[in-house]
């Protein structure tokens, strides 16, 4: 009987060894998937406002651009082409110039006077990056600068109710312009 017991113990050990073998050979599969994405977001908006008392350009927004596609497009669309203040009778306007300085220079917009509408280079700015960019996939910065002291009395395309002023001669009020930024895959 004693031999049987020992034998049984050995057998039990062998079974334990077999059970442990698959665990030691276990493999760990780690998977990750990257979904296509393109995004633009406002980060660290400096003030959201620019002062007409400032004689030069002012940084008004810090944007973060991101896209992991083989090609990416940034479209910047100023809505009015001027700062606008409506008092119910007149549409008062203050001209400005804008500039976008991106870390990825393909997205730069040189200093530009903007106009109403969506004419490329005047009321709309389209910037392409043809290839995949790891810095862009990781997120890249761009700064929007505005200068509200750019006198331009060209009223082409403006509504009849518009009144265009140099910044230092405009009636008091809050003047607003809206910029739309769109990042997409191309």
Which residues of the shown chain bind Ca ion in the complex (CB under 5 A)? Answer: 77, 81-82, 95, 101-102, 105, 108, 114, 118, 123
| Shortest reach from residue 114's CB to Ca ion, in Å | 5
- 38/96 with CB nearer Ca ion: 96
User: 114 or 147, CB closer to Ca ion?
Assistant: 114
CA 17, CA 3: separation in Å to the nearest integer?
21
Minimum CB–partner distance for residue 42 and Ca ion (Å): 18
| Nearest distance in Å: CB 26, Ca ion | 50
Mind giving me the DSSP string for the chain?
Answer: -HHHHHHHHHHHHHHHHHHHHHHHT------------EEEEEES-S-S---TT-SS-EEEEEEEEEE-SSSEEEEEEESSSEEEEE-SS-EEEEE-EEEEEESSGGG-EEEEE--SS--BTTTBEEEEE-S--HHHHH-EEEEEEEES-------TT--TTEEEE-GGGSPSS--B--EEEEEEE-
Nearer to Ca ion, 15 or 173 (CB): 173
* Closest residue to Ca ion: CB criterion: 123
Q: How far is the CB of 79 from Ca ion (least distance, A)?
A: 6
Nearer CB in complex with Ca ion: 82/91? 82
For Ca ion, give the closer residue by CB, 65 or 81.
Answer: 81
Contact 109, 74 (CB under 8 A): no
In the bound complex, what is the minimum distance in angstroms from residue 87's beta carbon to Ca ion?
A: 19
């Amino acid at each position: 009987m004693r031999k049987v017991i020992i034998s049984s113990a050995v057998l039990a050990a062998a079974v334990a060894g077999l059970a442990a073998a698959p665990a030691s050979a276990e493999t760990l599969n780690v998977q990750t998937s990257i979904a296509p994405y393109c995004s633009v977001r406002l980060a660290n908006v400096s003030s959201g406002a620019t002062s007409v008392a400032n004689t030069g350009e002012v940084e008004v927004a810090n944007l973060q651009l991101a896209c992991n596609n083989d090609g990416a497009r940034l479209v910047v669309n100023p809505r009015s082409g001027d700062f606008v203040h409506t008092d119910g009778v007149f549409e008062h306007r203050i001209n400005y110039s804008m500039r976008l300085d991106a870390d990825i220079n393909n997205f730069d917009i040189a200093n530009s006077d903007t106009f109403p509408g969506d004419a490329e280079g005047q009321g709309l700015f389209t910037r392409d990056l043809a290839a995949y960019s790891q810095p862009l996939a990781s997120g890249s910065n761009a700064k929007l600068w505005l200068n509200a002291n750019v006198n331009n009395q060209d009223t082409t395309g403006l509504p009849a109710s518009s009144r265009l002023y140099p910044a230092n001669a405009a009636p008091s009020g809050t003047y607003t312009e809206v910029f739309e930024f769109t990042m997409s895959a191309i």
